[in-house]
Every structure is written in C-alpha cells, then in structure tokens.
Structure 1
Amino acid sequence: MTNVLRYAMAGLFLCTGIFASQSEATVVVGGTRVVYPAEGKEVTVKLTNQGSMPALVQFWLDAGDEKSMPDTAKVPFSVSPPIFRMEPGKGQAVRVMYTKEPLPTDKESLFWVNVLEVPPKSADDGRNLLQFAFRTRIKLFFRPAGLPGEVNAAPEKLTWTLVNGEGGKGVALHVANPTPYYVNFAHVGLKIGERSVMEKGGGMVAPGGTTTFPITHLASRPSGDVKAQFDVITDFGAVNTIVQPLAP
C-alpha cells in the first residue's frame, strides 16, 4: 500500500487547512450491490470518475470489518487492478476473482466491496486546503450454485412477528428468514388499516437468521388490521414493496 493511501485509510481523510474543501465523492460505483455466482470465473465492478479532476483509487474486499485495511482484510478473493488512477470522465473495470477457499455451499455468504478515492494534491501550495478521501462500501453476495428456491421469492417466505421493543417498551418487528438468501430492505414498517408507518433506513436478514426492527413511531401495539410492510432491494437495485400478514 502506498503511503498516501495508508494515511488516507487511517482516518479516511487528508487535512492541510480549514478554508477550502472537496465535499463529495466523484468516483461512482456502477450498481448498489454485486452478486458473485459460485460457478463464475470472475465478476466485474465498473467505476466512473464523474469529477473534473483525476483521482487515485484503491479497491479491496472485506468480510464485514469496516476498520479492516487492504493488507489486513482476509477474504477468498483477489482483485485486479487493486490501485489505479482515474482520469476525469473516464471509467475503470475492476475484476474480482474467487480464490477457491471453502465457503458454505448451502447459503449465501456476504462480503463488502470498498472503493477508496483520494483526490490529487492541490497545485496551489499557498492556499489553506481541506482534502478528503472518500470510501464507498457496497455488499457482495457470494451465491452457491443449486440453492433451493428462487432469490426473488425469498421475501415472500419471511415470517414477521410484532414484539415488544427493547426493555419491553414500544413496538418492534421481528423477522425470520428460512431461505438460503440474504434479504435486503430499504425500509421496514407496518400497514395499519390504510395507513403506512415506515422507518427511515433499512437493513437485512441473513440466511436462516433473524433481525428485529424497532418501530420508533409507535409507543404501543396498534389495534385493528395490522400487517408487515417492507421495501425489498433486488439484485439489480430495484425496490419492491411487499405487504404480508403478521404471524400469530
């Protein structure tokens, strides 16, 4: 790892002053998630530099530790190229290759793609300047061949239960996932009669796992016709709204 990238990773920013700044990432990932079929030789992640200046980019995967660095992350994947320069308005395709270390064959495994963008050093050394290094992090799902059922049908298999919130206060939704697929949510909430009570932010439930989502907008259990309502994010980044009855 170069010294510039090592220092950028340490705090995810570079700082030489306080008066001028670059405040948003310009290197954009083509997609909101990556699906790696186990039988595939590799997958390609496409990046685009939408800014007006070149950027130095580092690309790596981790197994869920946000603090991991490229030389400490332990994952069964290699990437090419791991470090590269992107000119403004140009694209770059990064190859991700499974290195064949054993992974579960009866369910999906989750990894994370990291894209660290370091802007070029300002040519004006006389100015006070604040420069940031931006990291984009998206999910990569490793999908074994021959899993039962269809990934698009997995959300319909979920079981939702209305439970007490943390400490017995408030209301929460508990979801159980009997399928071998991860199910990702943009929003989770309740359909109470004709009214929707949705929480900001989303989450996910792992294969064979459970997750509990607090319903912060409700202080007590609602009465009447109450169902689970949730927005599912598909492999292609589309969002589908589903309403399901609650389990007894």
Structure 2
Amino acid sequence: MKLGRIALGIGFACALLAGNADASVTIGGTRVVYPLDQREVTVKLDNDSAAPSLVQVWMDDGHPDAKPGDIKVPFVITPPIFRMDAKKSQTLRVIYSGEALPTDRESVYWLNVLDIPPKVAGTTDANTLQLAYRTRIKVFVRPAKLPGKPEDAPAQLTWKVAAASDGKGQAVSVSNPTPYYVSFSEVDVESGGHTYKNEKGGMVAPHATEVLPVAQMNAVSAGAKVHYTAISDFGGAMNGDATLAQ
C-alpha cells in the first residue's frame, strides 16, 4: 500500500519532466507494435543508473494529463508499480483485455513510464524538490490481415496546401488512404528555391487527414515538393518525396 500511495501521489510530490535525457530508466524501443491476434507483448526496461528507481507504468488513449487511475484502456500492464535496482532490467507484460477494437485499421495508445529516482543522500528538507521523469511512446494495435504493408503506407499519402490553423500563413494537409498510422519526425516543403520546415513532425491516422504546420510558409509555387521522414515499426527513418498539390 505504501508503494502505491507514493506512486499515485507523485504529481504532488515531484516535478514531472517528460522525455528528459536524464531519466535513468529507458525503454527498449521508440514504439510498440501490438498484433491484435496475440494475447500479450513484452516491453523491456533498463535502469542505466547507479541507483535504484521506483517505476510506475500505465497506458493512455491520447490524453497525457489524465490520471492513471481515471484512464480506461483495453490493456493491462504487469507489473504496474515496482522497484528497479541499479543496472537491472525489467520486462513488462502488456496484455489485451479483449474489448472490441477496430479490425479494419490500426488503433493507437501510449505507454507511459514514470521514473522516480531516490532522494539525494543527506537531504532532509521536506520542501526539497524531487524530480520524476516520464517517457511516453506510442503503442500501435495492429489487426491481422490488414491489406498492404505498413512500410509502404508513407508513399501512398497525398499532400496539398492548406491554411494554417492559427490563420497565419500556410500549412500542409496530408491524407492517408491506408489502414496504418504514419508518423513523421520531419516534414519539409521545397518551393521557389526556399525550404520551409516542420521539425516537430506529426502523425496521420488511418483513412484520415491531418494538417501539419510549416514555419514561415506563405506562398507555395507550382511544382512544390514535400520531403518527409517517416518512422518505421523499428524506429528507423524512411525518407520520401511527394508533389504538393495546390
């Protein structure tokens, strides 16, 4: 019970840092692909530091600020809370609980790993700020027998000029006719001798359209090109080019 109270109260006791390079506990991969016809998949964690950590893990459905106890997802992770000793590993079991999910396209969830390092030795001040580090990666739930291959999906996207969501300048609209999610680490537009960049990346859902911001793009000439870097199942870069329609 004490362990659970510590972990669930972490938002009040610590400063949370997302995706920080100082986190001791690392995930073995940048994404998880969960075949829907499998009972479970495993995810490996490593504690690379010389000190133990308290770790809490949970999944969310796209709302990063939701409390773990309030989230309802069709997965169970074991163990949910545990201690990781220095230089040790831990295998998580991600188990599908059987609720109905789409079978004609992928679904996406997020795996959260909260790393709570021990207090610095000799620290007794109750007002001392303790840092906790959260890492969050995507979990793609993939039904069996989807048509095509996920690595071919980026080349099937269509791109066109769109109005920026903030009303300032232009953006790019990307449409995905495939049953697979496509994630980007970078999207560039080459137009009129200039290159306009989106370095934040983005993601487009199956059979959906997404608008991606592009910095300082105001007028796109005919024949403009999109250069993108999509991310494979294994976290690798898949570079491609496409024509940007007006």
Q: TM-score normalized by structure 2?
A: 0.90
**Residue 62 of structure 2 is aligned to residue 60 of structure 1:** no
* Secondary structure at 2:112 match in 1: strand
Q: CA RMSD in A?
A: 2.2
Q: How many corresponding residue pairs?
A: 240
Write the distance in 2 (CA, Å) between the matches of 1:137 and 1:169.
31
Report the CA distance between 1:6 and its aligned residue: 1.7
What are the Cα deviations for residues 150-183 of structure 1, in whole angstroms up to 9, with x where unaligned? Answer: 1111111111001233465412100111111100
Closer, same or farther: CA 53–196 of 1 in aligned 2, 3 Å: same
* Secondary structure at 2:70 match in 1: coil
Q: In the alignment, residue 41 of structure 2 is paired with which amino acid? A: V
Structure 1 runs (4+) greater than 6 angstroms displaced: none
What are the Cα deviations for residues 181-225 of structure 1, in whole angstroms up to 9, with x where unaligned? Answer: 10000011212367543222111000111111122132x213253
Q: In the alignment, residue 99 of structure 1 is paired with which amino acid? A: S
Q: Which residue of 2 aligns with 1:230?
A: 228
Q: Select which of 42, 47, 62 maps to 1:44.
A: 42
Q: Is the Cα–Cα contact under 8 Å of residues 198 and 215 in structure 2 kept in the other structure?
A: yes
* Secondary structure at 2:69 match in 1: coil
What are the Cα deviations for residues 90-113 of structure 1, in whole angstroms up to 9, with x where unaligned? Answer: 111101010111000011011010
Report the CA distance between 1:134 and its aligned residue: 1.2
Report the CA distance between 1:131 and its aligned residue: 1.5
Q: Does 196-205 or 4-13 show the bigger shift? A: 4-13
For structure 2, the 5+ residue unaligned runs are none
Q: Which residue of 2 aligns with 1:18?
A: none
Give the share of equivalent positions with the same residue, in percent: 45
Report the CA distance between 1:129 and its aligned residue: 4.0
Closer, same or farther: CA 116–161 of 1 in aligned 2, 3 Å: same
Closer, same or farther: CA 206–12 of 1 in aligned 2, 3 Å: farther
For structure 1, the 5+ residue unaligned runs are 15-21
Write the distance in 1 (CA, Å) between the matches of 2:212 and 2:114.
31
* Secondary structure at 2:155 match in 1: helix
Q: Which residue of 1 aligns with 2:77?
A: 79
Write the distance in 2 (CA, Å) between the matches of 1:153 and 1:194.
29
Q: Select which of 68, 88, 91 maps to 1:90.
A: 88
Q: Which residue of 2 aligns with 1:4?
A: 6
Write the distance in 2 (CA, Å) between the matches of 1:202 and 1:31.
18
Write the distance in 2 (CA, Å) between the matches of 1:242 and 1:11.
45
